[in-house]
């Protein structure tokens, strides 16, 4: 059962004539859909107190006169190692920084191709570019997962790494991908930014590859406004990432209190100032204590909504690669035989924030054909033709953010709104003129 946070009341009744809100009927809800950018975040008084304590300490820089184990950043890194079961963790300034550090620290030669799925947030190819490499986009399947067959078909030896993404909290097929990467002899990095705390067959996402990158930006499972971290079991990659992140003048040694670091000097590498600060680390440490509660809310809300809509033939709900292999931060479904852009618009009119991922009218940063820094002045039609399935499935996909603060009532509103709009599609299947985008 979903977590009860608010009063349970039924969605607003349909307009007497059954009209959708998009057609002038009553919306399912009139209050804003809770999202992080409206302040709907899971932050407890203890978390606020932790940040205030750090502010009052006046020690904001992680590499001050204290030992590593006495700093908030150092303690956070120890706690992250325990949480993920890795030997190393490095707190940094963003998820993008963590991704770029992983690629650079693994010494992927600049100019190499790095494969990543065609469905991801723009930060993934951006991090590849930041690391001096070139994104090699791979088509996706109907569940918006990297299509391994496409990668195998188009494989070239210039690809020196695979950057897997657990996009919108859904685990990628790590068994198949790591097996293939081992065959072709390249490392796998995980963009686990949207999946902090989610597991695949009992193992935490972000711990399958050579290194896993996470974000702690505001709509993530741990939220300190901006920030991120890297986890890895590889000592050399960790040491280089520490230096690259800005542990200057020998400060990288503090990360190896029990032994000699695997590098001698910090000036063989550029120092990029991707460090985390003490205030954010303090906030994150407090949030980490309550992470299981937040994860349970994501999961129970997602399961509640997905189960309540599973019977609708008008939508195809994104399926996980294994039972429960998702976080639950987003509800994504495709409208295979309808107009997903109209569907998303109709949901917004019903009071639910929804986006058609591949909308022509919306410059969504998750639609690869909008990444002009990758494709330059190439015609957009030609760009779309590079990944025909990703194009088709993104154009069919509707994305609804599911905050961990959603109440049962919010979930019921979402279910009622999707049912209403789907019913209109069913009613109009033979009369497509009515179910048209605005
Ligand atoms: C898949 C993915 N990768 C990377 C990032 C970048 O994280 P950050 O904003 O912390 O740089 C995001 C941000 O939402 C993301 O969704």
Q: Are residues 325 and 284 in the same domain?
A: no
Whether residue 395 has its Cβ less than 6 Å from ligand 1:
no
Whether residue 193 has its Cβ less than 6 Å from ligand 1:
yes
What pLDDT is stored for residue 433 in this prediction? 44
What pLDDT is stored for residue 371 in this prediction? 97
Helical pair 235-244 and 95-105, crossing angle rounded to 10 deg: 120
Tell me if 35 is assigned to some domain.
no
Tell me if 388 is assigned to some domain.
yes
Whether residue 325 has its Cβ less than 6 Å from ligand 1:
no
Instruction: Name the nearest CA neighbour of 320 among 312, 330, 311.
Output: 330
Q: Which helix (H) or strand (E) holds 184?
A: helix 174-184
- pLDDT tens for residues 295-310? 999 999 999 999 999 9
Test site for ligand 1: of 37, 92, 95, 220, most ligand atoms within 8 A of the Cβ: 95
Decide: helix, strand or coil at residue 217. Answer: coil
CA nearest ligand 1 atom 8, residue: 95
Q: Are residues 202 and 337 in the same domain?
A: no
All residue ranges of the chain with pLDDT < 50 are 1-9, 430-438
What pLDDT is stored for residue 432 in this prediction? 45
CB within 8 A of 187, min separation 6: which ones?
Answer: 106, 108, 161, 162, 181, 209, 210
Tell me if 5 is assigned to some domain.
no
> 363, 304 in Cβ contact below 8 A?
no
What pLDDT is stored for residue 265 in this prediction? 82
Q: State the residue range of the domain holding 408.
A: 21-30+291-427
Extended beta strands in 205-248, E state: 211-215, 228-232
What pLDDT is stored for residue 266 in this prediction? 82
What pLDDT is stored for residue 438 in this prediction? 40
Whether residue 120 has its Cβ less than 6 Å from ligand 1:
yes
355 forms bridges with which residues in the sheet? 399
Tell me if 40 is assigned to some domain.
no
Integer CA distances (angstroms), 102 to 21, 73, 395, 427, in order: 47, 19, 32, 51
What pLDDT is stored for residue 267 in this prediction? 87
Query: Among the three residues 241, 258, 289, which one is the final residue of a domain in this structure?
Result: 289
What pLDDT is stored for residue 1 in this prediction? 33
Q: Which helix (H) or strand (E) holds 315?
A: none
- Tell me the Ramachandran region of residue 163: left when phi exceeds 0, alpha when psi lies from -120 to 50, beta otherwise: beta
- pLDDT tens for residues 159-215? 999 999 999 999 999 999 999 999 999 999 999 999 999 999 999 999 999 999 999
Q: Looking at the whole model, is its pTM more than 0.85?
A: yes
Distance, in Å, from the CA atom of 136 to the CA atom of 160, rounded to the nearest integer, reads 10
Decide: helix, strand or coil at residue 114. Answer: strand
Tell me if 10 is assigned to some domain.
no
Integer CA distances (angstroms), 225 to 43, 228, 246, in order: 11, 10, 21
3-state secondary structure 297-309: HHHHHHHHHHHHH
Residue identified by tokens 């639609």 is: 367
Whether residue 68 has its Cβ less than 6 Å from ligand 1:
no
Query: Among the three residues 228, 257, 289, which one is the final residue of a domain in this structure?
Result: 289
Q: Are residues 317 and 419 in the same domain?
A: yes
What pLDDT is stored for residue 258 in this prediction? 86
Is 302 buried (19+), middle (13-18) or exposed (0-12) by CB count in 10 A?
buried
């Amino acid at each position: 059962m979903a977590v009860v946070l608010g009063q349970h009341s039924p969605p607003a009744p349909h307009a007497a004539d059954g009209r959708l809100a998009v057609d002038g009927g009553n919306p399912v809800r009139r209050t804003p859909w809770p999202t992080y950018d409206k302040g709907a975040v899971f932050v407890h008084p203890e978390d606020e107190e932790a940040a205030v304590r750090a502010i009052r300490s006046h020690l904001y820089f992680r590499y001050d006169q204290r030992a590593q184990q006495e700093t908030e950043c150092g303690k956070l890194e120890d706690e992250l190692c325990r949480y993920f079961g890795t030997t190393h963790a490095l707190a940094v300034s963003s998820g993008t920084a963590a991704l770029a550090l992983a690629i650079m620290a693994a010494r992927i030669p600049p100019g190499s191709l790095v494969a990543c799925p065609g469905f991801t947030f723009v930060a993934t190819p951006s991090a590849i570019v930041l690391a001096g490499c070139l994104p090699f986009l791979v088509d996706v399947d109907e569940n918006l997962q990297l299509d391994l067959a496409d990668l195998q078909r188009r494989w070239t030896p210039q690809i020196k790494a695979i950057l897997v993404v657990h996009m919108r909290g859904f685990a990628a097929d790590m068994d198949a991908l790591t097996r293939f990467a081992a065959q072709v002899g390249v490392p796998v990095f995980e963009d686990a930014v949207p999946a902090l705390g989610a597991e695949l067959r009992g193992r935490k996402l972000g711990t399958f590859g050579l290194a896993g990158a996470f974000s702690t930006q505001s709509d993530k499972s741990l939220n300190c406004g901006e920030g991120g971290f890297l986890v890895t079991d590889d000592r050399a990659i960790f040491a280089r990432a520490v230096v690259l992140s800005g542990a200057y003048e020998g400060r990288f040694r503090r990360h190896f209190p029990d032994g000699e670091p695997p590098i001698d000097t910090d000036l063989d590498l550029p120092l990029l100032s991707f460090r985390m600060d003490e205030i954010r680390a303090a906030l994150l440490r407090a949030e980490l204590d309550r992470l299981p509660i937040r994860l349970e809310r994501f999961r129970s809300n997602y399961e509640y909504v997905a189960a309540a809509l599973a019977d609708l033939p008008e939508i195809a709900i994104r399926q996980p690669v294994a039972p429960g292999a998702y976080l639950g931060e987003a509800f994504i479904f495709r409208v295979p035989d309808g107009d997903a852009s109209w569907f998303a618009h109709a949901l917004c009119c019903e009071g639910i924030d929804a986006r058609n991922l591949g909308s022509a009218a919306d410059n969504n940063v998750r639609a690869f054909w909008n990444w002009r820094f990758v494709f330059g002045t190439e015609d957009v039609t030609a760009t779309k033709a590079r990944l025909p399935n990703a194009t088709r499935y993104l154009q069919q996909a509707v994305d609804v953010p599911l905050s961990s603060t959603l109440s049962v009532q919010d979930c019921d509103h979402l279910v009622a709104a999707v049912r209403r709009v789907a019913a209109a599609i069913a009613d109009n299947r033979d009369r497509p003129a009515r179910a048209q985008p605005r």
